[in-house]
Amino acid sequence: MEILWYKALHLIFMVAWFAGIFYLPRLFVYHAQTESAEVSAQLKVMERRLLFFVTPFALLTLIFGALLIYSYGVAWWQASGWMHVKLVLVALLYVYHGYCFKLLADFYHDRNRRSHKFYRIFNEVPVLALFAIIILAILKPF
């Protein structure tokens, strides 16, 4: 029963985390497009609050995911090649999340040099990662 709680909490926190990392780059798109100082100031507040709100969800996703892996055991880990690929993608998502802090600081200090088109593409990265991660977790292809 304990493992089901870990799985449920892992999924709950993952969904909450992804809601934030889907929306934050969209705010960056709007921020890169605006020329209004007032809109820029409002977006700075929204971006900061959102990133700091979802970061604990990212950490809790990691904690409960690690507890799941630990609960399944070493033999399961060794036999689950799909999990190794999934964890590489997850690690890249944490790098992505960390990079959002750098982008946040760039906007905060008015030193963004990237276009709204960059942020539109950047916005798609977690979507593609989520597709791959879900397919790996459900289909377990290897």
pLDDT in tens, 64-78: 999 999 999 999 999
Query: For every residue of 42-79, which 3-state class applies, written as one string?
Result: HHHHHHHHHHHHHHHHHHHHHHHHHHHHHHHCHHHHHH
Answer yes or no: are the C-beta atoms of 94 and 18 closer than 8 Å: no
pLDDT at res. 39? 98
pLDDT over threshold 90, residue 1? no
Which residues does 26 contact at the CB level (< 8 Å), separation at least 6? 119, 123
Number of domains in the chain: 1
- Answering whether pTM is above 0.85, one says yes
C-alpha 71/C-alpha 1 separation (Å) is: 11
Residue range 77-120, pLDDT digits in tens: 999 999 999 999 999 999 999 999 999 999 999 999 999 999 99
pLDDT tens per residue across span 18-74:
999 999 999 999 999 999 999 999 999 999 999 999 999 999 999 999 999 999 999
Q: What percent of the chain has pLDDT over 90?
A: 99
Q: Note the pLDDT of residue 44.
A: 98
Nearest Cα to 21, choosing from 65, 44, 55?
55
Angle (CA) 135 17 107, round 5°: 120
